[in-house]
Amino acid sequence: MSPANCQRLWLIGGTQESAELAQAIARDGTVGCIISVTTDSARSLYPNAANLQVWVGRLNNQQLEEVWQQQQVSAVLDASHPYAVEISRNAISICQKLQIPYLRYERPALDTQQNERVIDVDSFATLLTGDYLTGARVLLTIGYKPLPLFQAWQTKATLFARILPSQIALQTALEAGFTSDRIICLRPPISADLERGLWQQWRINLIVSKASGSPGGEDIKRSVASQLDIPLVLINRPIVAYPQQTSDLAVALDFAIALARHSAPHRSDRSQIG
């Protein structure tokens, strides 16, 4: 990975949008880009290109700062999941310390429509200390990490969990008290027909999910919940003080390729992104 200008972008990835950005950066070809992901399975999201490198693994604050200095990172584009707040906050802190430009790409949020049965909740703590779940048949589509928070509710509600097909996800669900008949392992995307069928098969009468936008299947869950007249509880996105933020993929791409503009004029093909 050695574009002529030797500028390096660190793209915090693991999302559909980060893959789209990586593809556009690869086509542009003027910027060296290191894409960070936390799992080997996420590596397959990204194309093989001379100016792209995928970094797999978790880094703490000190390790991240050291790697950025070693790799001569010139800018950071944060396209991580809306709920991956730890990496975002760490990245912001290090960018400010090293005086590296930072841009957050945040996928657009969806607005609640008048006919939707959406209940917005500001946090898991609010959900669990309230009376939302009592006596309900609840489908949790929140990922595996928050499942231990629901362990005390196993005797007060009938809880089902949908998780990714990974060993750590399954182990976490079992340790949180979910029996094997109340766990389903599926990798998105999940169609509306499949979503509807699962809810009906399990006789679900309450859904708990995250406000993760269309790439996270939120739009499909909203639609199915409205069709089946089932309340959909959405955990709001965490609040992070991003120094610079956009929901426009073209703006994020402009930020990435700006690293090369001082060395040679070029024309990016933004029509192929988004």
The domain that contains 30 carries what CATH number? 3.40.50.720
Cα-Cα-Cα-Cα torsion 143, 145, 146, 149, nearest 10 degrees, comes to 140
Tell me if 2 is assigned to some domain: no
CB 230 within 8 A of CB 138: no
E strand intervals along the chain: 8-12, 32-37, 52-56, 73-78, 102-105, 118-121, 137-141, 158-163, 183-185, 206-210, 232-235, 245-246
What pLDDT score was predicted for residue 261?
Answer: 58
164 and 227 co-located in one domain: yes
244 and 170 co-located in one domain: no
125 and 224 co-located in one domain: yes
What pLDDT score was predicted for residue 216?
Answer: 85
Total-model pTM: 0.85
How many domains does the structure of the chain reveal?
2
Tell me if 216 is assigned to some domain: yes
Tell me if 1 is assigned to some domain: no
Tell me if 104 is assigned to some domain: yes
250 and 226 co-located in one domain: no
For each of the chain's 274 residues, which pLDDT tens digit applies? 444 445 699 999 999 999 999 999 999 998 999 999 988 888 888 999 999 999 999 999 999 999 999 999 999 999 999 999 999 999 999 999 999 999 999 999 888 776 678 999 999 999 999 999 999 999 999 999 999 999 999 999 999 999 999 999 999 999 999 999 999 999 888 999 999 999 999 999 999 999 999 988 999 999 999 999 999 999 999 999 999 999 999 999 999 988 755 443 333 344 345 4
83 and 99 co-located in one domain: yes
Helix (H, G, I), strand (E, B) or coil at 120: strand
Type of residue numbered 70: Q
141 and 197 co-located in one domain: yes
162 and 212 co-located in one domain: yes
Tell me if 3 is assigned to some domain: no
Taking each helix axis from N to C end, the angle separating 85-98 and 61-70, rounded to the nearest 10 degrees, works out to: 50
91 and 155 co-located in one domain: no
Q: Domain containing 143: what range?
A: 118-235
What pLDDT score was predicted for residue 198?
Answer: 95
37 and 139 co-located in one domain: no
Tell me if 97 is assigned to some domain: yes
Tell me if 132 is assigned to some domain: yes
Tell me if 113 is assigned to some domain: no
CATH number of the domain enclosing 200:
3.40.50.620
Helix (H, G, I), strand (E, B) or coil at 52: strand
254 and 209 co-located in one domain: no
